[in-house]
Structure 1
């Protein structure tokens, strides 16, 4: 005991602190989200997310080059189609905005890994993540018919050159359905990053502006998880592992670090944490008002995600973090 044990001895010098650091945040841990829109020369800043833009394909290609040059290995791609319909046609059409943009990125920056968000909410006229029961005005999503649309979407994204499929709609059996469809089309080696534990969170608010996907009615809590539950997260990840998931996602990250830890302890698969739009916007607003040191707070938070067990971090701060880490 004291005075024999003095933990401060290992905190005396910066180099020594670096040598004994348990958790290290690297640029290779980061994944940057991008929002693709039709047109040319378009860069629309998302009002509730300063510094984040809806970009046309040509602008995204420019952004992809910058991201890769910063040392960020991967992006996740969301699409906002020109037209939305009941069948989410823009999600699975071969000329869809994600398909077109993914192909253009691969031609320009072939080494940048492209993750495709495989969901339907950005493409449906009602803003929900699948087929709706037309006789039920509560917005009840029909699970099994939705799986058929997700299969078509995943295969079309794979054909466009996407490197990782990321289903995010929290449909029962979606990993197995997509895995089967990909294998049947010859994409046995394409990984699935499952949004395994996706909570019905208030932190998604600004994303609705970015992806133009506000539900017109109904309630996403019928398919996304209750924020009060943790055991359910383990049930979900165990099902996804059995169905063939290659990476597991926890979303959001900031209020769910205990879930990240539990998922990491329960599985040998890589774990991704999605630091969502509301987290980004809170930090940005506080920084713009001079209330926090953005760099220090963001890097501390990202390190916290890694300490909790995240191997990969999806964050709108990825570019800033990569520059700070350099």
Structure 2
């Protein structure tokens, strides 16, 4: 009768049997044949238990054991070419520090802007997006200043391209920097944001920016149909090579506060005669929604967008990944003013190592699927990367 081993009988793994044979064979070899070495066995802390190695076929830590190995297997590489540097400009000579964004300023468009972009280029960052601080006296309810061919944005774009012909210049297309009511679109007296009328002016704004030399038009307004309308307007004026980076999934976020402080573009209080919405929930996306971003992405791609953006970045990594998986278009993400200011505040308080935290946040955005990242840390991060 054959004997069947009991489930409780000790079983020796084949690997341990093999190791035992190898050790027995090695013991018979001539130790003097081993090459000489000055290496000494590493010491272990006193009290370390002496135990046999675990029977593990796979030990992932082997692929993390040294900096050389970690560098070789790194899946996501961050470079300065991934960054777009947002710059604030104003119609003056001196740079004006922005209190809510330490280290950032409203740059004088003739000198400060040029100096800052020259610094960025030296660090390897050759893409910028321009945000103008419009003087209050030029703002109107219908924001006509947005398409003024001699406006601050248009002059800044033209000067940048004249000074740095190979610089990639992105723009912002929306009415809030020029609108007395602080909204991305025109506001009706009952508080409704007018869509198609706003899009008409966004097209005029986009064409004026293209004439000034813009390489990429970036509608941030979240009006329906604006990508297709802008594409048609650009093409009809001969700007077929000017690209569109659409703010595809722009959420109604609490992280925009410092940006609105920098441009004085927050919604204004309304009154009984003219209601003004306190926030932008009517047109920006609900932070609770996921599937909606897929609908917006499909529409923007069909209308001719060249790049799809997610804004903000850090709290919406799942949205970045969703768009990356749903399209072949490049994905950009905006590490917004609130994210920047939080990192700055934590670093200033000594709670975080600024360089390590910033680079970790930027690598996470790229790992989620962003090909481009708009970040106020672009210049600093580029310099830190060069020093690694």
Same fold (TM over 0.5): yes
Aligned structure 1 segments of 4 or more residues deviating by more than 2 angstroms: 1-4
Give the counterpart of 1:211 among 256, 260, 263: 263
Equivalent in the alignment of 1:123: 178
Determine the structure 2 residue equivalent to 1:53: 105
CA RMSD, 1 decimal: 1.0
Give the conservation status (yes or no) of the 8 Å contact 2:134–2:263. no
Q: Normalised by the size of structure 2, how large is the TM-score?
A: 0.82
Question: Where in structure 2 are the equivalents of 1:194-273 lying within 5 Å?
Answer: 194-217=246-269, 218=277, 219-273=279-333
Equivalent pair of 1:64/1:109 in contact (CA under 8 Å): no
Structure 2 counterpart of 1:97: 152
2:163 aligned to 83, 108, 115, which one?
A: 108
Q: Which moved more, 1:209-218 or 1:93-102?
A: 209-218
After superposition, give the CA deviation of every residue in 1:119-154 in whole Å (9 maximum; x if it has no partner).
110111111111111x21x3x210000011000000
Residue 312 (structure 1) aligned with residue 362 (structure 2): no
Q: Is the 8 A contact 1:90 1:97 kept in 2?
A: no
Aligned to 1:34: 87
Instruction: Report deviation, 1:89.
Output: 2.1
| Aligned match of 1:167 | 219
2-side partners of 1:120 and 1:182: how far apart? Answer: 18
CA deviation after TM superposition for structure 1 residue 2, in Å: 4.6
Match of 1:302 in 2: 362
Query: SS state of the match for residue 23, structure 1?
Result: coil
SS of structure 2 residue aligned to 1:221: coil
The alpha carbon displacement at 1:168 in A equals 0.3
Aligned length: 322
Structure having greater relative contact order (Cα 8 Å, sep ≥ 6): 1
Separation in 1, partners of 2:369, 2:126? 19
Q: Which runs of 5+ in 2 are unaligned?
A: 1-53, 270-276
CA–CA separation in structure 2 for the residues paired with 1:146 and 1:91: 11
The alignment status of 1:274 with 2:326, answered yes or no, reads no
Structure 1 gap segments, 5+ residues each: none
Counterpart secondary structure, 1:32: strand
Q: CA-to-partner distance for each residue in 1:194-234, whole Å, 9 max, x for gaps?
A: 00000000000111111110100313100000000010000
Structure 2 CA distance for partners of 1:5 and 1:37, relative to 1, 3 Å: same
1:76 counterpart SS class = strand
Determine the C-alpha separation between the residues in 1 that align with 2:238 and 2:250: 29
Q: Secondary structure at the match of 1:15?
A: helix
In the alignment, is residue 150 of structure 1 matched against residue 202 of structure 2?
yes
State the alpha-carbon separation in 1 of the partners of residues 361 and 120 from structure 2. 21
Aligned to 1:191: 243
